[in-house]
């Protein structure tokens, strides 16, 4: 961009007699064009000036300069100040800055006022991997989960006793946002999953001439597993992340402090309505997701296997017992509570910066999805043990 | 100098020490706030003024010492009692801290709706009254993000007034406002004190508003990490001989204050 020729920055040390050394600075010292001199250059200067009492500067050859020069001079100053006299024939070298440009002297004086930069903290000794993992797991998860579940139970009990600060209007608004607002995306995800299941089943079952059992496969898989899980994952990404981001932003804005200062309980006002909204909406979304998933399977079955709609639906009705829906409903309630709790808790634990809001949203989505899948595994093991 | 009065003290700090983990911000603070006074918590940026305010309004538990509200130990009280005492406080946060998902009028109405048994009509009327007290009668339907900085401060003030507090805490009320808006806010604070009879605790480093409104105060120092002077800002300006306080009041740098403004250059 610049049309001017940039001369590379340089220095040359001249000895003038026994006592004096002169540092001749040449070229252009522009940080963004020529970079900074590093600590090695500073050490070289001091080594070359070894034995001298005084270091003067000569700037006749100096072209343009900016912070690059100041950084170099400051490093030189600090290095000279801490240099052990023994390394310099028993004498401390003195910098004579009178020949530097006036502006550079001012900047140096300004930089010196704030004192030398503190040394970088030594990195903490690393624990063994296993210990680190354990500490993190207990600190991050075990405590958080225990605190959350405990608080939810206690405040929930208080709510039943009539001492509650949650406003019905807030809950309704959150329910509308989490429920009706999610219909589209839940339909897309579950319809596609139902169709995919039907495709997978069709390929295998056709080999046995058992095409009609695609309806059983899709029906049971959707009602028992996929509808609840897919919906929960969608809600973790959509609503859990939004809760975390909202609450983290309120945290950064001192809005949470304002609530506390009024004595409005944050849990009742912010967390409980969100849990209630998701717990109320998830079972409904689950039933809707089942229906859409079955429809997806039906479309694929009719298109690829030449099944009639009546036969497909009849087979589905035969295959899917009420029990499967009960398991799915129970899961959807648990998933809803988990996603809302994770979002709110991570939001409340966030710090006060824009980066923290992003981190909270990401954390809530990740925790929600992993939590949902892990909880689903627990359900599967329990259902297997109970034989249902 | 502080600490002997007891009769008409609304608020007292006793041996108040504030810390974030191992980092002590302020220690052994002693001060008392007379009923009906406008009390300034002064000091340079970063000396812990806002932190002291947070301890007074119950947002940060002190590492040692306590705050007495009308003689009652606030931090020794049970949580429910603290919330009850806290309902007599109104707090204006540094950036207003308005609840951003609600309109200005809803911001003022929420504490009334949550903490009183008033019906919707009276709540709305009260919210409108508080907004017109701070000159925002027409802005009730607007969202906080649509307000200018000065309006946001005033809306925060209206919200702080929602429950007719006995003690009003203002964190940097005039920081970031232009001189006219800042003067208007100062006048408003004086009028509110006289009109509502509230005691006001104000954190500030804006000299003009300190001199204009405050009649008592405490000066915190970042290096000493404690209070280095007590008294009204005006009398500190005229009489205090602590170099840091004098430099602050004269808007000079501490090292120059002793030898005059051009001591070195």
B57, B110, B113 ranked by CB distance to A261: nearest? B57
Confidence of residue A135 (pLDDT cuts 50, 70, 90): confident
Among residues A114, A131, A155, the one where a domain terminates is A114
Please choose, from the candidates A318, A336, A345, the residue with its C-alpha nearest in 3D space to the C-alpha of residue A229: A336
Neighbours of B255 (CB within 10 A): 12
B84, B93, B115 ranked by CB distance to A254: nearest? B93
- Same domain for A55 and A158: no
Looking at residue B265, what is its pLDDT? Answer: 37
- Same domain for A264 and A158: yes
Q: Is residue A94 part of a domain?
A: yes
Q: Give the range with max mean pLDDT: A102-116, A200-214, B171-185, B240-254.
A: A200-214
Hey, are the CB atoms on B93 and A257 less than 8 Å from each other?
yes
Are the beta carbons of A306 and A209 closer than 8 angstroms?
Answer: no
Looking at residue A39, what is its pLDDT? Answer: 78
Both tokens of A131, joined, read 């210990």
A249, A254, A262 ranked by CB distance to B95: nearest? A254
Looking at residue A49, what is its pLDDT? Answer: 78
Distance CA A182, CA A241 (A): 14
Those residues whose C-beta lies under 8 Å from the C-beta of residue B156, and which sit 6 or more positions away, are B92, B93, B96, B97, B98
Q: What is the mean pLDDT of residues A201-226?
A: 91
Which residues of B lie closer than 8 Å to A, measured between beta carbons? Answer: 54, 57-59, 83-84, 86-87, 89, 91, 93-95, 97-101, 110-111, 113-115, 159, 163
CATH number, position A65: 3.30.750
Neighbours of A219 (CB within 10 A): 27
Q: Is residue A244 part of a domain?
A: yes
Q: Looking at the predicted structure, is the pLDDT value of residue A33 above 80?
A: no
- Same domain for A183 and A66: no
Q: What share of chain B is helix, strand, coil (3-state, %, to 5)?
A: 40, 25, 40
pTM of the model: 0.74
Residues from chain A that touch B89, judged by Cβ atoms under 8 A, are: 261
Looking at residue A86, what is its pLDDT? Answer: 59
Identify the residue among A170, A254, A267 best suited for mutation to test binding to B, counting B beta carbons within 10 A and taking the highest: A254
Hey, are the CB atoms on B83 and A263 less than 8 Å from each other?
yes
Q: Looking at the predicted structure, is the pLDDT value of residue A65 above 90?
A: no
- Same domain for A343 and A291: yes
CA distances, B147 to each of B142, B153, B161 (Å): 8, 9, 19
Looking at residue B256, what is its pLDDT? Answer: 55
Looking at residue A228, what is its pLDDT? Answer: 95
Q: Is residue A139 part of a domain?
A: no
Q: Give the tens place of pLDDT for each residue, B64-81.
A: 999 999 989 999 999 888
A250, A261, A264 ranked by CB distance to B91: nearest? A261
Q: Looking at the predicted structure, is the pLDDT value of residue A383 above 70?
A: yes
Distance CA A64, CA A26 (A): 9
Looking at residue A119, what is its pLDDT? Answer: 55
- Same domain for A294 and A213: yes
Looking at residue A187, what is its pLDDT? Answer: 96
Q: Is residue A131 part of a domain?
A: no
C-alpha angle B77/B82/B86, rounded to 5°? 145
Looking at residue A91, what is its pLDDT? Answer: 66
Instruction: Report phi then psi at A359, rounded to 5.
Output: -65, -40
Hey, are the CB atoms on B100 and A249 less than 8 Å from each other?
yes
Hey, are the CB atoms on A262 and B99 less than 8 Å from each other?
no
Q: What is the mean pLDDT of residues A103-108?
A: 84
Q: How many domains is chain A built from?
A: 2
For chain A, give the mean pLDDT.
85
Q: Is residue A207 part of a domain?
A: yes
b/e sequence A291-318, b meaning 16+ C-beta within 10 Å:
bbbbbbbbbbbeebbebeeeebeebbee
Residues from chain B that touch A253, judged by Cβ atoms under 8 A, are: 95, 97, 100
Q: Looking at the predicted structure, is the pLDDT value of residue A85 above 70?
A: no
- Same domain for A333 and A236: yes
Are the beta carbons of A263 and A366 closer than 8 angstroms?
Answer: no
A258, A260, A262 ranked by CB distance to B115: nearest? A262
Looking at residue A124, what is its pLDDT? Answer: 58
Q: A208 CA to chain B: closest CA distance, Å?
A: 59
Looking at residue A329, what is its pLDDT? Answer: 94
Are the beta carbons of A267 and A348 closer than 8 angstroms?
Answer: no
Q: A7 CA to chain B: closest CA distance, Å?
A: 35
Looking at residue B5, what is its pLDDT? Answer: 46
- What three-state secondary structure class fits B97? coil
Looking at residue A3, what is its pLDDT? Answer: 52
Global ipTM: 0.83
Q: Which domain holds residue A80?
A: 10-114
Residues from chain B that touch A262, judged by Cβ atoms under 8 A, are: 86-87, 91, 111, 114-115, 163
Q: Is residue A249 part of a domain?
A: yes
Residues from chain A that touch B100, judged by Cβ atoms under 8 A, are: 249-250, 253, 255
Q: Looking at the predicted structure, is the pLDDT value of residue A118 above 60?
A: no
Hey, are the CB atoms on B159 and A261 less than 8 Å from each other?
no
Hey, are the CB atoms on A250 and B99 less than 8 Å from each other?
yes
Strand B64-69 relative to strand B226-230, pairing: unpaired
Identify the residue among B80, B90, B93 best suited for mutation to test binding to A, counting A beta carbons within 10 A and taking the highest: B93
Are the beta carbons of A54 and A97 closer than 8 angstroms?
Answer: no
- Same domain for A358 and A300: yes
Give the pLDDT of chain B (265 residues) as one tens digit per residue: 444 445 578 899 999 999 988 889 998 999 999 998 999 999 888 888 889 999 999 899 999 999 999 989 999 999 888 888 888 899 999 888 999 989 999 999 999 888 888 888 888 888 988 888 888 888 889 999 999 888 898 899 999 988 888 899 999 888 778 888 888 888 888 888 888 888 999 998 888 889 989 999 999 998 888 899 999 998 988 888 888 888 888 887 766 544 444 444 3
Q: Is residue A32 part of a domain?
A: yes
Among residues A72, A93, A114, the one where a domain terminates is A114
Q: Give the tens place of pLDDT for each residue, A288-302.
A: 999 999 999 999 999
CA distances, A330 to each of A131, A288, A360, A379, B265 (Å): 36, 15, 28, 9, 78
Looking at residue A243, what is its pLDDT? Answer: 95
Q: Looking at the predicted structure, is the pLDDT value of residue A372 above 90?
A: yes
- Same domain for A321 and A206: yes
* Chain A residue nearest residue B168, CA to CA: A261
Confidence of residue A90 (pLDDT cuts 50, 70, 90): low
Confidence of residue A273 (pLDDT cuts 50, 70, 90): very high
Among residues A114, A135, A153, the one where a domain terminates is A114
Q: Give the tens place of pLDDT for each residue, A152-170.
A: 777 777 766 656 677 888 8
B86, B95, B159 ranked by CB distance to A263: nearest? B86
- Side-chain-side CA neighbours of A186 within 13 Å: the count stands at 28
Q: Is residue A126 part of a domain?
A: no
A258, A261, A264 ranked by CB distance to B114: nearest? A264
Neighbours of A260 (CB within 10 A): 18
- Same domain for A192 and A98: no
How far is Cα of residue A155 from the mean position of the Cα atoms in its chain? 29
- Same domain for A158 and A107: no
- Same domain for A27 and A69: yes
- Same domain for A148 and A32: no
């Amino acid at each position: 961009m610049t049309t001017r020729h940039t001369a590379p920055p340089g220095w040359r040390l001249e000895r003038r007699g026994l006592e004096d050394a002169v540092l001749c600075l040449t070229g252009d010292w522009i940080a963004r064009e020529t970079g900074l001199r590093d600590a090695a250059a500073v050490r070289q200067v001091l080594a070359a000036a070894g034995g001298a009492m005084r270091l003067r500067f000569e700037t006749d050859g100096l072209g343009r300069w900016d912070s690059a020069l100041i950084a170099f001079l400051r490093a030189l100053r600090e290095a000279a100040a801490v240099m052990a006299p023994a390394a310099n024939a028993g004498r401390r070298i003195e910098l004579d800055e009178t020949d530097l440009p006036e502006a550079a002297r001012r900047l140096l004086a300004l930089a010196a006022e704030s004192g030398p930069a503190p040394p970088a903290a030594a990195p903490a000794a690393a624990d063994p991997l296993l210990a680190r993992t354990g500490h993190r797991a207990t600190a991050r998860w075990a405590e958080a989960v225990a605190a959350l579940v405990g608080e939810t139970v206690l405040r929930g009990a208080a709510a039943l006793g009539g001492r509650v600060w949650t406003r019905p209007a807030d809950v309704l608004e959150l329910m509308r946002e989490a429920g009706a607002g999610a219909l589209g995306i839940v339909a897309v995800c579950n319809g596609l999953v139902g169709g995919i299941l039907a495709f997978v089943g069709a390929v295998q079952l056709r080999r046995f001439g058992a095409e009609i059992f695609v309806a059983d496969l899709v029906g049971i898989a959707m009602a028992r597993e996929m509808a609840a899980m897919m919906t929960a994952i969608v809600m973790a990404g959509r609503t859990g992340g939004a809760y975390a981001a909202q609450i983290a932003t309120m945290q950064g804005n001192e809005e949470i402090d304002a609530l506390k200062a009024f004595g409005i309980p944050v849990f009742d006002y912010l967390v409980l309505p969100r849990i209630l909204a998701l717990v109320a909406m998830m079972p409904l979304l689950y039933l809707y997701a089942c229906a859409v998933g079955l429809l997806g399977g039906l479309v694929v079955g009719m298109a690829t296997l030449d099944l009639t709609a009546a036969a497909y639906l009849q087979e589905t009705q035969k295959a899917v017992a009420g029990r499967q829906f009960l398991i799915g409903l129970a899961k959807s309630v648990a998933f809803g509570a988990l996603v809302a709790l994770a979002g709110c808790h991570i939001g409340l634990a966030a710090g006060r910066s824009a980066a923290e809001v992003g981190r909270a949203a990401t954390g809530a989505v990740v925790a929600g999805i992993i939590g949902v899948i892990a909880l689903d595994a627990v359900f599967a093991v329990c259902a297997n043990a109970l034989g249902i | 100098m502080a600490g002997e009065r007891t009769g008409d003290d609304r608020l007292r700090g006793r041996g108040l020490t504030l810390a974030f983990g191992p980092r002590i911000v302020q220690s052994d603070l002693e001060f008392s706030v007379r009923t009906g006074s406008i009390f300034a918590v002064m000091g340079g940026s970063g000396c812990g003024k806002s932190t002291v305010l947070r301890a007074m309004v119950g947002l940060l538990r002190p590492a040692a010492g306590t705050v007495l509200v009308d003689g009652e130990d606030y931090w020794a009280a049970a949580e429910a009692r603290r919330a009850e005492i806290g309902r007599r406080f109104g707090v204006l946060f540094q950036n207003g801290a308005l609840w951003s998902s609600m309109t200005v009028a809803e911001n003022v109405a929420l504490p009334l709706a949550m903490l009183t048994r008033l019906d919707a009509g009276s709540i709305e009327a009260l919210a409108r009254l508080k907004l017109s007290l701070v000159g925002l009668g027409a802005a009730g339907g607007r969202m906080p993000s649509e307000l200018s900085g000065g309006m946001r401060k005033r809306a925060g003030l209206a919200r702080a007034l929602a429950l007719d507090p006995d003690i009003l805490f203002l964190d940097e009320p005039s920081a970031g406002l232009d001189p006219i808006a800042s003067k208007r806010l100062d006048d408003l604070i004086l009028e509110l004190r006289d009109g509502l009879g509230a005691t006001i605790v104000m954190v500030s480093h804006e000299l003009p508003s300190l001199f204009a409104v405050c009649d008592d105060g405490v000066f915190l120092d970042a290096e000493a990490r404690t209070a280095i002077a007590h008294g009204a800002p005006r009398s500190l300006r005229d009489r205090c001989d602590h170099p840091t306080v004098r430099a602050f009041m004269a808007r000079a740098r501490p090292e120059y204050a002793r030898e005059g403004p051009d001591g070195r250059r």
